[in-house]
Chain A
Amino acid sequence: MNPSPPPPRDPDLLEEALGLGRGGSPPWRLAFVEDCVETSGAFVLHHFLKRALSTEGDGTVVFLGLAQPFSHYDRVLRKMGCNLSVQRNKNKLHFIDLLNLEFLGERRLSNEKGENDIEIGFMDLYNRILRSIEAIRSKDYNGGWTTIIIDDLSHLEIAAHGSAKHVLDFLQYCRSLTSEMDCSLVILNHEDIHSSDEALQMLSHLDYISDILIKAETLSTGIAADVHGQMTVIIKDAPGGLIKKLHSFQFKVKENGVEFFYPGSRF
């Protein structure tokens, strides 16, 4: 689409792996970012957020902040050269603050009623996302790509009191929203919290509906100051399909961005 400008410094391995051309729409709908206690994958979300809101692309973002308050993201992104408050005022970012989200309220209600509460809560949340996308597209919309980012899924599960069924239903709705409204969905999830059988089912379900899986792990040799972890990007040819491509590289997180490099190519 656009003439590709010369690479600023190192080629961005993550962008390359994800097939993201500058300004264009990503060739996928749903990306899962999986991390673990030792290595946080939140920086991938920041990366997506910055990329979507960068001046070259005219992308827009709906951000569901469950894990951190807005001030946190604002500070982190400002160091990366992106002012979220300005973007919010420009109607390019809709931040939905869900830090206190809880569907059941304080008391545990009777079972049927409780279940309904979760459903109502999720429906409400879905409508908020929908309204945000509509609000973004109502005025001076220039056809930019919209990304929905959820940080993070495990908090959604806690808010739903562990009802995997409702969480999966919600994700299914969000997924259909991506094709309906022509947008993409990026979700952070923790891989290591799904170790029991029941939860493993959830993980495989998530695996199935995703187009792209981005895994952030610690190095097998342990944590190091120069290499913060390794990243595996798995690209599937269709949801539930075979693995089309697999990229693996290492990363180092810095305040103003992330460095990606192949193992052994540095230090």
Chain B
Amino acid sequence: MATAADGRLQGARSANTSSFSRARSSPSAVLPSPPNPGVKLGPNGATFVSSGIPDLDRILGGGFLLGSLVMVMEDADAPHHLLLLRNFMSQGVVHRQPVLFASPLRDPRAFLGTLPSPVSSSKEHRQRDTLVDHNQQDQEKGLRIAWQYKKYFGDQQSSQNHNRDVKQEFSNDFDLRKALERQHVQYIESMSIQDIPHLTILRDRCSNFLSGLPRSDGGNLSAGRIAIQSLCAPQCGYAEMDWDLVAFIRFLRSIIRSSNVVAVVTFPTSFLLPAFLKRWQHLADTLLSVRAIPDEDKDMAKLLTGYQDMLGLLHVHKVAQNNSQVPTVLEASTFSLKLQKRRSLVLERLNQAPVEASSGTSYSTSGTCSGPSKGSSLDF
């Protein structure tokens, strides 16, 4: 056990100092990932936490980067950003990570009552167990895996198995119809930013939250999450405080940069001046936007397959690039938000529908039209 722990420590250290990203992708380098299932190591010394939507994690190259600021531009007409926030917080609860939630709602606790709980199916009973007694299982798993390594030392197969194990626990599917039980939610720190004329209080709460986080010891990384809903909504009363708001975002960005926290801030774009909107976008490490789609748009329905099942669109504008200068170029930047089996969120690339009577000229934008879209059309 001691040797395994040493190896893990050493691995963590080499992950921090290694300057080559190539080395990280080799199985031996991934092998000593921290035993905490909520945190995953990536290239460039990055550590990820899950966004709560497995598809989004995949799109972003692993999840939300710890120490980064994720900003979501809201749609003025639809509350799709709340889906992202809910899953983000629920995933934090499942992983027993400290969560701070700030909202312009008068009673943020009520909103926390709507957090989805993880999907429990017979196939994924491991995920169901994670909620029950998480820590104990972790330790057992850590032990078992360490033991396996000794047995199959140098065997690639085992490390791949291990990877798969970690991946399974890293992100859960959430059932939007089933609320998370109260006793789990009560650990979320929440505050209302309505009628608080100064951002000082929010600043203090954020820095207190950060200083209250357990220190990461050894290879066991502990992460925290900050979720701020509708930062510049009119009910917050931040009119004429444009510079205070950008200063707050800069402050938030700078304090989380050196910590194991990821912050998700959603904001309605229509209340910002264009120049400030750009400033906010520049400050974001990861920039997403959500958009509703009109119900009865015949043209769109003809153009895209599975249009009826779409809840909305998610657009990825920018992906966090800490410790690297290379921009991430995604194959597609717009995805459709859908519900799988009416309960869990999935993201799919847009697929152009075949044009009738001219199959020769039609082309599909991608080959990733996966199972869920077919299944869900039956469900609805």
Contact = CB atoms under 8 A, between A and B. Distances in A.
Interface string A73-98: 00110110000000000000000000
A158 B323 contact: no
Interface in B223-270: 242-244, 246-247, 250-251, 254-255, 257-258
A40 B327 contact: yes
Nearest to B258: A69
A218 B325 CA distance: 16
The 6 closest A-B pairs by CB, nearest first: A75-B323, A78-B19, A162-B243, A99-B254, A193-B278, A43-B325
Interface stretch (B118-126, B169-177, B181-189, B279-287): B279-287
A42 B318 CA distance: 14
Nearest to B22: A255
12 contacts: A37-B278, A46-B325, A68-B257, A72-B322, A75-B44, A76-B323, A107-B200, A154-B279, A159-B250, A190-B282, A253-B325, A255-B325
Contacts of B243: 158, 161-162
Interface in A117-163: 154-155, 158-159, 161-162
Interface in B270-304: 273-276, 278-279, 281-282, 287
B70 to A, nearest CB: 15
B335 to A, nearest CB: 16
Given A37-B282, A161-B243, 13 more contacts: A39-B327, A40-B321, A43-B325, A69-B258, A72-B322, A75-B44, A76-B323, A104-B247, A106-B200, A106-B203, A193-B278, A196-B274, A255-B325
Nearest to B279: A193
B242 to A, nearest CB: 7
B327 A79 contact: no
Interface in A212-229: 223-225, 228
Interface in A43-72: 43, 46, 68-69, 71-72
Contacts of B251: 100, 102
Contacts of A254: 326
A162 B247 CA distance: 10
A155 B247 CA distance: 9
Nearest to A36: B278
A158 B254 CA distance: 13
A12 interface: no
Contacts of B258: 69
A108 interface: yes
Contact of B19 (A46, A79, A161): A79
Contacts of B250: 102, 155, 158-159
Contacts of B275: 193-196, 199
Interface residues of B, number: 39
B219 interface: no
Identify which of B251, B324, B325, B327 gathers the most chain A CB atoms within 10 Å of its CB. Answer: B325
A192 interface: yes
A223 B329 contact: yes
A159 B243 CA distance: 9
Given A100-B254, A162-B243, A71 B325 contact: no
B152 interface: no
Interface in B44-79: 44-45
Chain B CB count within 10 A is highest, among A106, A228, A254, for A106
A106 B325 CA distance: 32
Given A75-B19, A78-B19, A158-B247, A225 B282 contact: no
Interface residues of A, number: 42
A253 B45 contact: no
Contacts, number: 94
A37 B247 contact: no
B326 A255 contact: yes
Interface string B1-45: 000000000000000000111000000000000000000000011
Contacts of A107: 198, 200
Contact of B325 (A42, A100, A102, A155): A42
Nearest to B321: A40
Interface of A: 37-40, 42-43, 46, 68-69, 71-72, 75-76, 78-79, 99-100, 102, 104, 106-108, 154-155, 158-159, 161-162, 190, 192-196, 199, 223-225, 228, 253-255
B324 A255 contact: yes
B106 interface: no
B365 to A, nearest CB: 14
Given A75-B19, A158-B247, A192-B278, A228 B327 contact: yes
Interface string B208-225: 000000000000000000
Nearest to A155: B250
A102 B247 contact: yes
Contacts of B150: none
A39 to B, nearest CB: 7
Contact of A37 (B19, B44, B287, B323): B287
Given A106-B200, A193-B282, A76 B324 contact: yes
B286 to A, nearest CB: 12
A162 B242 CA distance: 9
A106 B326 CA distance: 35
B164 interface: no
Contacts of B247: 102, 104, 158-159, 161
Nearest to A35: B282
Nearest to B200: A106
Contacts of B342: none
B327 A71 contact: no
A192 B281 CA distance: 10
Given A99-B257, A195-B275, A225 B323 contact: no
Contacts of A78: 19
A75 B16 CA distance: 10
